Amino acid sequence: MTHNAALVIGTSRTDGNTWTTLRAANENLQLPIFDLATLRISYFDYNSENLADDFIPTIERLLEFDTIGLVSPVYWYSVSAQMKTFIDRFSDLLGPRKDLGRQLRGKRVFLMATGYSEEKYSECMNQMIQLTSDYLGMKYEGFHYSRVAEDLVVPDNVLGEARVFLESKVGYNKRMVADR
């Protein structure tokens, strides 16, 4: 079953809570994952001297999908440094690559996050993604926060809630799997 969605993850640990949650949530879907830790994406540059890094090719590939899920741990009430750099580079889509930026209009986007704090502390990152989506003409589809009380121990109920959220965002239906 192919869903017209992709996931972008920005985290420093491939064995951490965010990856563990994403792998479990994506188990049935097998959506493509763009791991920002494996890409060479530099900080925004007003002189646009970094357009040859991996940002533009990544955006070109993401434009093939109708829905884009952003996945990040909560770092200091916001997204990870990798995700923030990725989002900052959207500025290139308002200037030198406006042709690509226009293609983001109407795309659906949602946010998934993991962290240790109460959910209210993650609202800053939710608002940042929502406002960015609105500015770019994207349809913000919501936010899911997976609270993990102990590092590297993600309870089954937390994994299940993340799975339900992700599957709801991409229109997954268990009957579709049975029909394969």
Q: Which of 135, 133, 143, 83 is nearest to 108 (CA)?
A: 133
pLDDT tens digit string along 13-50?
999 999 999 999 999 999 999 999 999 999 999 999 99
pLDDT digit string, tens, across residues 104-160? 999 999 999 999 887 777 788 999 999 999 999 999 999 999 999 888 889 999 999
The answer to whether 73 touches 19, Cβ cutoff 8 Å, is: no
Answer CATH for 5-178 from 3.40.50.360, 3.40.630.10, 3.65.10.10, 3.40.50.1820:
3.40.50.360
Measured CA to CA, the distance from residue 75 to residue 51 in angstroms comes to: 27
Task: Identify the CA nearest to 108 among candidates 32, 4, 22, 36.
Answer: 4
Examine the pLDDT at 177 and tell me if it is beyond 90.
no
Residue tagged 């590092």 (tokens): 151
Give the ranges where 14-74 is alpha helix by DSSP (H). 17-25, 55-62
Which sequence spans correspond to the domains of the chain? 5-178
CA distance 171 to 4: 10
Predicted TM-score (pTM) of the model is: 0.93
pLDDT at residue 174, as a whole number? 63
